[in-house]
Amino acid sequence: MGKRMTQNLRTIKVKILKFCLSFLFLATLAFMTFHFYFGNRIWIPSTVHPRIVGPLYPYLIEEPLKCRGEAPFLVLLIPSMPQDVLVRDALRKTWANESLIPGISIKRIFLLGRSFVNDIEISVQQESSTFHDIVQQDFLDTYRNLTVKTLMGIEWVSRLCPRASYVMKVDADMFFNPWFLVKADLTAGEAPQAGIFHRVDNNNQRALQEQGKQVVYTI
């Protein structure tokens, strides 16, 4: 009698152990399947009016009325250093001239951080009151803050110039042909209507300057 009870208890223990092991195996398998299928996905909430993230730093110069009225076809975001007054003046007279292409609304914005020198800051304020094409936030204008400067431009456009057809960031030390861009690309009937894009030409261009940080090509 005692041996039978002992055997029955052992049988029950074995069945319970098998059940627990089976349950643990199935639970582990279910968890791994769920993690593999859902864990690698990036869920992006879809909203009719996506939230615009505010500026990282307070604005010193904002130009909130720059895009009021007719929506510009092209907005040029040009990173610039506060002390580069002559460079900005040269760009206003050449490829960054807002009236360069008749019938095409172009807006020019110079992106600046704050200078260490108070006299330069005063000069920037005076320049801004004359041309109304400078946007500046309260961060030090250094090479390491170029990303902050770019984010400032994107935030400014998304909040104060959201109806612009195209936005282009172009460095101040480049020569840019806006007529070619607008006439040959953006108004040629094949320009993309949304997204971030760039263009690469593989036409055996010859380099005019092959040494140094930058290379200059002919077109």
What does the domain layout of the chain look like in residue ranges? 59-176
> How much is the pTM?
0.67
pLDDT digits (tens, 9 = 90+) for 19-59: 777 777 777 766 665 555 444 444 444 444 455 567 889 99
Beta-strand relationship, 74-79 and 106-114 = parallel
Q: How do residues 120-138 score in pLDDT, each as one tens digit? A: 999 999 999 999 999 999 9
CA distance 95 to 97: 6
For residues 147 and 16, which has the higher predicted lDDT (pLDDT)?
Answer: 147
pLDDT of 181 > 90? The answer is no
Contact present, 57 and 137 (Cβ < 8 Å)? yes
Q: How far apart are CA 172 and CA 183, in angstroms?
A: 22
d(CA 89, CA 138): 23
